[in-house]
Every structure is written in C-alpha cells, then in structure tokens.
Structure 1
Amino acid sequence: MSLSVRVIDSASDLFESVRQLRSRYLGTNPAKEDDFERREQLRDAMSYHLIYLDNDEVVGTLRVTPLGHGLSFVERAVNVHAYFQQSTDAFDANRLVLDERYRGGRHLRMFLLQAAIWLKANTHLRFISALCRGQLAALYVGLGGRVLEEDVTWTGEQVERRYSLVYLELESVYHNVKGAN
C-alpha cells in the first residue's frame, strides 16, 4: 500500500477516475440542479482537485472551488458575502469522497491534512465554506468548524434538500488534524 495525495486539474488523465468515484458515492447531480452538466464542467475547470491515491488508484477526492465567481453550489444556495467579507479569500470544499475501503482509521485525516498542507503552501485561500448534510457537517465541526446556518433549503429539479453551512479556517483545520495524527 503506497498512499499519496496529489493535485490535478480536470484535464488530467486521472480525472475520469475522480468522476467515477464521485458518481459511485454521490450519484449524478446529487442536489438536482438545473443545467447541472454545464455548471459542473465550469466548476471542475476552475477548481483544484486533490486526490488520494493508493499506488495509481484514485481512492479519494476533494474539490476545492474558490468563491467569488457565483458559480459554486454554495454561492447559488447561500449569500456567502454575509459570512465571508473577502469571498476571494475563501473556497468551497465540496465533492469529498473516500472509497469505503479507506473509511475510518487514519485515511480521512491523512488526506485532509495533506490537502490543508498543499492549500496553505500553494494558494492564498484561508477560509472554507462547506454546504453539507449530516455526518459531513459533524466531521467539519469536529475539525474546528462552526455551523453558520443549519437549515439551508435547496429546491432542485423535483426535490428539496436541506443543508448546513459550515465555516472553517484553513489554519485551524491544519492544526486540528495535525494534532490528532
């Protein structure tokens, strides 16, 4: 088992594996957004994709989408300017997926720690927004985040879903995850 974290873009040869992993665990268009394929293509093109590899197999993925352009899902669902005065210093953490074989134990924390290290070293981003549900919201709160809004309602194509908006500081996530390892 040779585990590593890498950053790729949507033009990478590995990106199809990212799509397959997302689809397997999140489905296609999980929030039932209108014009999803076009929006998702734009989000993928403007985002950082951190992948967790076991040898050459993609077993985890996290998409980091900078805020300020109005295309991220969180920006469509919530007025982020009410929470992030400098939205260009923030990103939306989304599409976090870890293959079930790697859940539990150290894998998630190692992946998130390596992601935080890379983001701190290679971007100007400092704040994290995450629009999530249930266990993921609890995970982020456990990493030092706080829930800003508990009942964000999104009405997509024939479905209504409820989310929590969680705010985190990248520096705090780094220290919390590092301290737990």
Structure 2
Amino acid sequence: MSLSVQVIGTASELFESVIELRRRYLGTNPAREDDFDRREALRDASSYHLIYLDTDEIVGTLRVTPLGHGLSFVERAVDVRRYFQHPTDAFDANRLVLDERYRGGKHLRMFLLQAAIWLKANTHLRFISALCRGQLAALYVGLGGRVLMDDVAWAGEQAERRYSLVYLELESVYNNVIGAN
C-alpha cells in the first residue's frame, strides 16, 4: 500500500476516474440541480481537484472551489457574503469521496491533512465553507468547524433536500488533524 495525495486538473488522464468515483458514491446529480452538466463542468474547470491514491488507483477525491465567483453550489443556496467578509479568501469543500475500503481508521484524516498542507502552501485561501448533510457536517465540526446555518433548504428538480452550512478555518483544520495523528 503506497498512499499519496496529488492535485490534478480536468485535462489529466486521471480525471475520468475522479468522475467515476463521484458517480459511484454521490450519483450523477446529488442535489438535483437544474442545468447540472453545464454548472458542474464550470465548477470542475475552476476548482482544485485533490486525489488520494493507493499506488495508481484513485481511492479518494476532494474538489475545492474558490468562492466569490458564484459558481459553487453553496453560493447558489446561501448568500455567503453574510458569513465570509472576503469570499475570495474562502473555498467550498465539495465532492469529498472516499472509497468504502478506505473509510475508518486514519485514511480520511491523512487525506484531509495532506489537502490542508497543499492548500496552505499553494493558495491564498484561508476559510472553508461546506454545504453538507449528516455525517459530513459532524466530521467537519469534529475538525474544528462550526455550523453557521442548519436546515438550509434546496429545492432541486425533483425534491427538496436539507443541508447544514459549516464554516472552518484552514489553519484550524490543519492543527486539529495534525494534533490527532
């Protein structure tokens, strides 16, 4: 088992494996957004894609979409300017997926730690928003985040879904994860 984290773009030959991992665990349009394919292509093009590799197999992925451009799902559902004084210093953590064989144990923490290290070293981003549900919201709170809004309603094409808006500071995530290892 040789584990590593990389950042790739949509032109990478590995990106199709990212899409497949997302489909397998999240479905093709999890929030039932209108015009999803076009919106998702724009998000993918403007985001950082962090992948968790076991040798050459992608076993995890996280998409980091900078805020302030109106592209992210969270910006469609919530007025982020109410919570982030400078939205361009923040990003939306989304499409976090970890293959079920790697859940539990230290894999998720290691992946998030390596993601935080890369983001701190290679971007100006300092704050994290996450519009999430259930266990993922609890995970982010466990990493030092706080719920800014509960019960955010999103009326998609077919059904309404409820989310929590979670706020985290990248430095705190880094310190919390490194302290737990």
What is the TM-score when the length of structure 2 is the normalising length?
A: 1.00
Q: C-alpha separation between the residues in 1 aligned to 2:111 and 2:71?
A: 26
Q: C-alpha separation between the residues in 1 aligned to 2:50 and 2:115?
A: 7
Secondary structure at the aligned position of 1:4 is classed as strand
Q: C-alpha separation between the residues in 1 aligned to 2:97 and 2:62?
A: 7
Q: C-alpha separation between the residues in 2 aligned to 1:17 and 1:120?
A: 26
How far did 1:158 drift?
A: 1.3
Map 1:11-160 onto structure 2 (within 5 A).
11-160=11-160
Q: C-alpha separation between the residues in 1 aligned to 2:151 and 2:134?
A: 11
Secondary structure at the aligned position of 2:10 is classed as coil
Q: C-alpha separation between the residues in 2 aligned to 1:61 and 1:14?
A: 11
Q: C-alpha separation between the residues in 2 aligned to 1:165 and 1:81?
A: 13
Structure 2: any 5+ residue segments left out of the alignment? Answer: none
Q: C-alpha separation between the residues in 2 aligned to 1:79 and 1:60?
A: 29
Q: Which amino acid aligns with 1:161?
A: R
Count of residues in Structure 1 that have an aligned counterpart in Structure 2: 181
Alpha-carbon RMSD: 0.3
How far did 1:48 drift?
A: 0.1
What is the TM-score when the length of structure 1 is the normalising length?
A: 1.00
* 1:135-157, Cα deviation, whole Å (9 max, x unpaired): 00000000000000001000000
How far did 1:73 drift?
A: 0.1
How far did 1:177 drift?
A: 0.2
Q: C-alpha separation between the residues in 2 aligned to 1:15 and 1:159?
A: 29
Q: C-alpha separation between the residues in 2 aligned to 1:71 and 1:110?
A: 28
How far did 1:6 drift?
A: 0.2
How far did 1:71 drift?
A: 1.2
Structure 1: any 5+ residue segments left out of the alignment? Answer: none
